[in-house]
Amino acid sequence: MREALEETGLTDLSLGAVLGEEELSPAPGMRHHRYYYHLACRENPPERWQHFETDPSEGDEGRILFELYWVRLPKEAPQLSGGLDRMLPRLLDRLRADARERGPSFTRKTPARIREKKHGRPGSRPRIHRP
């Protein structure tokens, strides 16, 4: 949750569910352990916003600008780099199950984040969910 707050600026987040985890070896001798979460946002953020991460964990890059916006799932979900969308089917299954429990008027949006690095190449990160 700390990372979600740092990268989005959203302050009223709660853990909805753990969607899964995986261990990757992107290069020889490297291991990445990823955790995927469904986070609920109880505040009412704008449709689009920008937020600077001021303390990045990836070296001395300085401030990193995030451009955030909400998308409708699954049709508007952008493809995420590095397989970060791997747990999207689990999130969709969970949202559909929630919708069946709550009734037909239940809709949700998810923000997509585009990360602008200093060298100008856009990347993306996992999504945060707003009820």
Q: Which of 116, 24, 121, 26 is nearest to 64 (CA)?
A: 116
Residue 121 has pLDDT above 50, yes or no: no
Report the pLDDT value the prediction gives residue 23, as an integer from 0 to 100. 92
Q: For tokens 């409708």, what's the residue?
A: 72
Per residue in 78-117, pLDDT tens? 888 888 899 999 999 998 998 888 875 544 555 555 444 3
Q: What is the pTM of this model?
A: 0.67
What's the CA gap between 67 and 77, in Å, rounded? 15
Residue 58 has pLDDT above 90, yes or no: no
Q: For tokens 């070296």, what's the residue?
A: 59
Asked if 69 and 47 count as a contact pair (C-beta separation under 8 A), the reply is yes
